[in-house]
Amino acid sequence: MCGEPMLAAVQSAAVLGIEAFRVLVEVDAAQGLPQWTIVGLAAGAVKESRERVSAALVHSGFVVPPKRLTVNLAPADVRKDGTAFDVPIALAVLVATGQLAPEPLQGVLAIGELGLDGTLRPVRGALPVARHSARTPGVRTLVLPPGNVAEASLVRPTRLAPVATLRALVDILRSGEWPNDAKPSLGAPPAQSSVDLADVAGQDDAKRAAEVAAAGGHALLLVGPPGSGKTMLARRLPTILPLLTEEESLDVIAIQSVAGLLEPGAALNVERPFRAPHHTLSSAALIGGGSPPRPGEVSLAHHGVLFLDELQEIPRLTLDGMRQPLEDGKVMIARAAGTVTFPARFTLVAAMNPCPCGYAGSPSRPCVCPPADIVRHRARISGPLADRLDMTVHVPALPPATLAVIESGESSADVRARVDAARRSQRERYGKLPGVFCNAHVSGRWLETHTPIDPKARSTLVTAADRLGFSARAYHRVLRVARTVADLAGVEAVLPEHVAAGVRYRGYTLNRASGG
Range scoring the smallest mean pLDDT among 17-26, 69-78, 174-183: 174-183
67, pLDDT greater than 70:
yes
Q: Do residues 298 and 288 make contact, with C-beta atoms less than 8 angstroms apart?
A: yes
Give me the pLDDT at residue 397, please.
85
Give me the pLDDT at residue 458, please.
94
Per-residue pLDDT, averaged over 118-128, amounts to 95
Per-residue pLDDT, averaged over 368-390, amounts to 89
463, pLDDT greater than 50:
yes
Using a cut of 0.75, tell me whether the model's pTM lies above it.
yes
Distance CA 370, CA 196 (A): 39
Could you tell me the CA-to-CA distances from 516 to 154, 351, 362, 374 in Å, in that order? Answer: 55, 20, 12, 11
Q: Which amino acid is at 281?
A: L
Give me the pLDDT at residue 1, please.
44
Give me the pLDDT at residue 2, please.
46
Q: Which amino acid is at 356?
A: P
Give me the pLDDT at residue 182, please.
60
Q: What is the CA radius of gyration of the chain?
A: 28
Distance CA 361, CA 515 (A): 5
Per-residue pLDDT, averaged over 88-113, amounts to 95
Give me the pLDDT at residue 271, please.
87
97, pLDDT greater than 90:
yes
Give me the pLDDT at residue 39, please.
93
404, pLDDT greater than 80:
no
Strands of 7-16's sheet in order across = 35-39, 68-74, 19-30, 7-16, 108-110, 141-144, 159-162
pLDDT digits (tens, 9 = 90+) for 227-252: 888 999 999 999 999 999 888 998 99
Give me the pLDDT at residue 159, please.
87
Number of neighbouring beta carbons within 10 Å of residue 91: 29
> What is the dotted CATH code of the domain comprising 197-513?
3.40.50.300
Q: Do residues 388 and 219 make contact, with C-beta atoms less than 8 angstroms apart?
A: yes
The mean pLDDT value of the chain amounts to 89
260, pLDDT greater than 60:
yes
pLDDT band at 33 (very low <50, low <70, confident <90, very high): confident
Range scoring the smallest mean pLDDT among 92-106, 150-164, 258-272, 486-500: 258-272
261, pLDDT greater than 60:
yes
Give me the pLDDT at residue 516, please.
39
Range scoring the smallest mean pLDDT among 121-130, 228-237, 262-271, 507-516: 507-516
Per-residue pLDDT, averaged over 187-193, amounts to 59
Distance CA 417, CA 404 (A): 28
DSSP-based three-state secondary structure for 231: helix
Of 203, 485, 239, which is closest to residue 351 (Cα–Cα)? 203
513, pLDDT greater than 50:
no
| DSSP secondary structure of 265-315 | TPPP-----EE---TT--HHHHHEETTTTEE-HHHHTTTSEEEESSGGGS-
Per-residue pLDDT, averaged over 132-142, amounts to 92
Q: Do residues 23 and 12 make contact, with C-beta atoms less than 8 angstroms apart?
A: yes
Distance CA 181, CA 82 (A): 26
| DSSP secondary structure of 151-204 | HHTTS-SSEEEE-SBHHHHHHHHHHT-PPPPPPP---PPPPPPS--GGGS-S-H
479, pLDDT greater than 70:
yes
CATH topology of 7-175 equal to that of 197-513? no
Distance CA 216, CA 211 (A): 9
Better-scored residue on pLDDT, 213 or 402: 213
Domain boundaries along the sequence of the chain: 7-175, 197-513
CB contact set of 416 (below 8 Å; sequence gap of 6+):
239, 240, 241, 242
Number of neighbouring beta carbons within 10 Å of residue 267: 10
Per-residue pLDDT, averaged over 67-88, amounts to 93
Give me the pLDDT at residue 511, please.
44
pLDDT band at 488 (very low <50, low <70, confident <90, very high): very high
Distance CA 342, CA 327 (A): 14
Could you tell me the CA-to-CA distances from 122 to 14, 84, 119, 261, 464 in Å, in that order? Answer: 14, 8, 10, 12, 57
Distance CA 500, CA 494 (A): 10
CB contact set of 334 (below 8 Å; sequence gap of 6+):
none
441-448: long-range contacts, CB 8 A cutoff, minimum separation 24: 441/217, 441/329, 441/345, 442/480, 443/476, 444/472, 444/475, 444/476, 444/477, 444/479, 444/480, 445/476, 447/476, 447/479, 447/480, 447/483, 448/479
Class of domain 7-175: alpha beta
Range scoring the smallest mean pLDDT among 117-121, 168-172, 227-231, 290-294: 290-294
pLDDT digits (tens, 9 = 90+) for 405-416: 666 778 999 999
pLDDT digits (tens, 9 = 90+) for 330-352: 999 887 667 889 999 999 999 99
Per the document, the length of the chain is 516
What percentage of the chain reaches a pLDDT higher than 70?
92
Give me the pLDDT at residue 190, please.
59
pLDDT digits (tens, 9 = 90+) for 154-168: 887 678 999 999 999
Q: Which residues pair with 120 in a beta bridge?
A: 114
